[in-house]
Amino acid sequence: MKYRRLGKTELSVSEIGLGAEWLERHDEAECRAVIRRAEELGINILDCWMSEPRVRTNIGKAIAGRREKWVIQGHIGSTWQGGQYVRTRDTEQCRLAFEDLLNRLGTDYVDLGMIHFVDEVSDWEKAMSGPYLDYVKELKSQGKIRHIGLSTHNPEIGKRAAESGFIEMILFSVNPAFDLMPPTENIDDYFGDYADESLGGIDPVRGEMYRLCEQRDVGITCMKPYAGGRLFDESRSPFGVALTPVQCIHYCLTRPAVAAVMCGYDDPEQVEAAVAYETATEEERDYAGVLAGAPKHSFGAECTYCGHCRPCPVDIDIAMVNKLYDLAVMQPEVPASLRAHYRALEHRAEDCLGCRACESRCPFGVPVAERMEKTARLFNVG
> With 60 as the cut, is the pLDDT of residue 382 above it?
no
Q: pTM of the entire structure?
A: 0.90
> With 70 as the cut, is the pLDDT of residue 134 above it?
yes
- Mean pLDDT along residues 273-297: 91
Q: Where are the domains of the chain?
A: 3-292, 318-379
The confidence score (pLDDT) of residue 286 equals 95
Residue 332, preceding bond cis, omega within 30 degrees?
no
> With 90 as the cut, is the pLDDT of residue 76 above it?
yes
pLDDT digits (tens, 9 = 90+) for 235-262: 888 888 999 999 999 999 999 999 999 9
**How far is 243 from 229, CA to CA, in rounded Å?**
10
- Mean pLDDT along residues 73-92: 96
Q: What is the mean pLDDT of the chain?
A: 92
pLDDT digits (tens, 9 = 90+) for 201-215: 788 899 999 999 999
CATH code of the domain occupying 3-292:
3.20.20.100
The confidence score (pLDDT) of residue 200 equals 63
- Mean pLDDT along residues 326-333: 84
Burial of 54 (C-beta count, 10 Å sphere; 0-12/13-18/19+): middle
> With 90 as the cut, is the pLDDT of residue 307 above it?
no
| 322 or 133, greater pLDDT | 133
Q: Which of 118-127, 303-312, 329-338 holds the top average pLDDT?
A: 118-127
pLDDT digits (tens, 9 = 90+) for 167-212: 999 999 999 988 988 888 988 887 776 545 555 678 889 999 999 9
**How far is 324 from 326, CA to CA, in rounded Å?**
5
Note whether 16 and 277 are within 8 A (CB): yes
> With 90 as the cut, is the pLDDT of residue 103 above it?
yes
pLDDT digits (tens, 9 = 90+) for 3-60: 999 999 999 999 999 999 999 989 999 999 999 999 999 999 999 999 999 999 999 9
